[in-house]
Amino acid sequence: MALVLGIESSCDEAAVALVHDGSRVAAEAEASQADDFAAWGGVVPELAARGHIAALPGLIERVLASAGARLEDIAAVAVCAWPGLIGSLLSGVTAGKVIAARLGIPLIAVDHIQAHLGAIHLGRERVAYPLVGLVASGGHSHLYHCSGPGEIQLIGGTIDDAAGEAFDKAAAMLGLGYPGGPAIERCARGGDARALALPRSFRNDDTLRFSFAGVKTALLYRVRGPLGRDALALDERGLRDACASFQLAIVDCLVAKLLLAADLHQVRAIAVGGGVACNTALRSAVEAAARGRGLEAYLPEPRHCADNGAMIASLGYFRWRRGEIADLDLAPLPTGRVGPRARPTSDVRGPTSGQT
């Protein structure tokens, strides 16, 4: 049994977790700064990085105590190395390096977006591969083909806004605050999702592309009322209808392309991760579509859809198993990278060799 410490610090949340064999969560803890940033209307990078530096040592002590483990019980450290805010990433990567160097254990670099798909292993003994997965978060909307755990290939995505970004911007437009996704979902309850005819870019073509800039602009025009149209009455009913219509337009596009990806890649399983996968309308639509087509659907619990340390530990474990170990001079990157530099396992302990 291999216990992996996962450290996530790519944005405004510092999160750590101890996970056995990529699937069994022993303990997790997090320190979110979302409330602090609500007043700013978004994340302030320098403040986020400083907050993580202050929070991480205490979070690591907390997970060790709650798992009843000692620092020496950790077999490997997985860190979120990209993409993200560089100062935030640096704080988590540095914490991971210190522990790896001090204990002489492997350091594993994990891609944040791909880790959202790694989260499907949490609390699950078996996942049926191959599958196609959607990661819909604040900064990305990616479609992946996964041939096995940690074997992840990008096959499509958005050409402009991410789905979460569209939710956040729409919420700001409607005066609903930040983060926008949960606010839109709450406000959509009881609304008429057919009230506003909103565009669904690329919805019916045969490419694995999303575009959410158009639906956002269309909503703006309806709210402000140019082009000879009346501005939408933003009373309670109008707001509920606008949120429900906007939510449905996005969910429609996400589900359509996920199913198209399953068809094109001839897989029998689909997965969804990322903060937007907390959305109940999206979850229900994915589950219904999977049932209708006889596909297996993997949706992590909502707390593991949002940013968390367990997803980093999980994907880190599988990367380690593939021999992908980072050097201690690992440099985090603000933008994505195809994958961490792989190194043969001959000179490092693998998770199945001698770990208990």
User: For binding to Zn ion (CB under 5 A), which residues are involved?
Assistant: 137, 307
The CB-of-281 to ligand KG4 minimum distance in angstroms stands at: 8
Binding of ligand KG4 by 275 (CB under 6 A): yes
The CB-of-344 to ligand KG4 minimum distance in angstroms stands at: 32
Contact 137, 164 (CB under 8 A): yes
Nearer to ligand KG4, 63 or 282 (CB): 282
| C-alpha span between 168 and 136 (Å, rounded) | 13
Burial (0-12, 13-18, 19+ Cβ within 10 Å), 190: exposed
CA 249 and chain centroid, separation? 21
Contact 95, 57 (CB under 8 A): yes
| Residue 245 binding partner per list ligand KG4, Zn ion, none, with a CB distance cut-off of 5 to 8 Å that depends on partner kind | none
The CB-of-101 to ligand KG4 minimum distance in angstroms stands at: 28
Binding of ligand KG4 by 12 (CB under 6 A): no
Nearer to ligand KG4, 4 or 276 (CB): 276
Binding of ligand KG4 by 21 (CB under 6 A): no
Q: What phi-psi label fits residue 223: left (phi over 0), alpha (psi between -120 and 50 degrees) or beta?
A: alpha
The CB-of-49 to ligand KG4 minimum distance in angstroms stands at: 16
Residue with tokens 């198209």: 260
Binding of ligand KG4 by 332 (CB under 6 A): no
Greatest alpha-carbon pair distance for the chain in Å reads: 72
- DSSP state for residue 294 in the 8-state scheme: T
| Residue 139 binding partner per list Zn ion, ligand KG4, none, with a CB distance cut-off of 5 to 8 Å that depends on partner kind | ligand KG4
Nearer to Zn ion, 137 or 201 (CB): 137
Pick the closest to residue 309 from 18, 3, 2 (CA basis).
Answer: 18
Q: Which residues contact 200 (CB under 8 A, 6 or more apart)?
A: 215, 249, 252, 253, 256
Strands ordered across the beta sheet of 24-32? 24-32, 13-20, 3-8, 76-82, 107-111
Whether the bond between 344 and the residue before it is cis, its omega within 30 degrees of 0, is no
Nearer to ligand KG4, 30 or 185 (CB): 185
Stretch that binds ligand KG4, among 118-126, 219-227, 274-282, 286-294 (CB under 6 A): 274-282
What is the token pair recorded at 6? Answer: 């996962």
Residue with tokens 């402000």: 224
The CB-of-17 to ligand KG4 minimum distance in angstroms stands at: 15
Binding of ligand KG4 by 210 (CB under 6 A): no
Residues, the chain: 356
Nearer to Zn ion, 142 or 200 (CB): 142
Binding of ligand KG4 by 306 (CB under 6 A): yes
Nearer to Zn ion, 214 or 336 (CB): 336
Q: Which residues contact 9 (CB under 8 A, 6 or more apart)?
A: 15, 52, 56, 80, 84, 88, 89, 91, 92, 93, 95
Residue whose CB is nearest to Zn ion in the complex, by number? 137
The CB-of-139 to Zn ion minimum distance in angstroms stands at: 7
| Residue 8 binding partner per list Zn ion, ligand KG4, none, with a CB distance cut-off of 5 to 8 Å that depends on partner kind | none
Binding of ligand KG4 by 278 (CB under 6 A): yes
Binding of ligand KG4 by 300 (CB under 6 A): no
- DSSP state for residue 326 in the 8-state scheme: B
Nearer to ligand KG4, 168 or 241 (CB): 168
Residues engaged in binding ligand KG4 (CB under 6 A): 11, 137-139, 164-165, 167-168, 179-182, 185, 274-276, 278-279, 306-307
